[in-house]
Chains A and B, each alone.
Chain A
């Protein structure tokens, strides 16, 4: 399984229009977060990461819950860049193949799943080690919601909401069907 990103430009998250968004997974402004950055991938969306001891479980082993965050962020952002809708996580399931090491580099690749119908979208993700070996798999279902509907759940000022709404609605950079658009946004409903 390839973890190669494409040469396409890295997608910008719509949150980038906000000065101080704090998403634990993908914000560069949250000192406690993972600050994930995403790359276009031939099969969907990818992020390469290296987690330090702040995210440790057993000594030298990354806490499995954080790997759920990584998978969820990558799948959720993929859905949003493809749909322009906010994606709330409905359910997620992980299979841990082997322990993930603190300080080592891994790549998470997300792909859209089979159409779930209605407002639901499914996705899968794999976390791969530097040799391309699978260490975690994930599958999840998301409920897609227009920003206007999600607005009441999201704490933003009116000007911020306007900017974010516009960012979500802005057409993506010209892309092949396998290349994500330029904007992404995800949050877990029940996290």
Chain B
């Protein structure tokens, strides 16, 4: 059951798909408003949003502040729910997945949260700037031991992962390149923040220690000179292998689930043509992330990839909260949701290893599926919440009660035009038939709750 809207030019289902991927979902009202402009214009808006002024950090800190990881995650979820710059928040999460830095080792929340703020600030800029800032980020430097990377005694941890996991992927460089890159990053360290007592929390700051830097000649990927870390980054971003690796990450995060990263050197991309086009856009623009993102979101393959990805736990939680319509304004209580994704296997700020979270169906096991289903059923089953009560009204007004089939199709429609297997639809229709005679709002909310429990709802 699709609502008709005379001025609409863009398909609501496609926009819902775009906002699930390029953001954290959108309300039906937002989607209807967007349907009056072209899809390409909406993509451009996501790539170049008007600057966000409604979410001043000091105000957010006043509501959710504190030095715990949960405080920061609350603020971040609030942004995901309310920021107009949806893609900016999604790209911050993207880089958090790729440049996985764990609080498990750092135990310094402010450094970890500053890293996310950095991803938000520069995550849609140039790959060169992104890798350079990453290489100067205290949380990353500590996580991968670059503070132990000394002139004459190189520690290869950062140099290796920069190439293997953050830019090029295995098979595109030699062990010698790792050693030379590591030498180039010697002396890239951070100053200790002042002690907590009595000074309070301060972030660590990047520091270049010239005395500890190896100024000798190095050869990296065929280029020789007195290379330092920024030269290494310059060389990396010009490599076709880097463009391919980064765009494949984009594809895996935004389009469809690829096999896990360690297989990428052996397995071709699912969509080699799109990866080629995105890589060319990235290389030809000198590393502009927006160029690759634009090609991706405008591609037919992206548009056809509805429900081809298992939602990450955080996407799942935030998507449900957005549907429920709570926390559209600042109020306490969001902290209760900061750890909701933990029990589903994703502790924000604390990916399990430098490889990041394993995605796709590896997100799902019995325990966290139970958590997901119960979380969604409880939230979506609250017919009094602003978001769900609006959906119920829309369903009833749109004729959902005319038949069991109409009720189910209406529910699937308002839940983002969810596409389901025939077996799921049959089960829902049977239930809708059995519930005939019950009060209309109750029938509607129970159908929504069951759709939220369906296996297909786990997909974005």
A associates with B: no
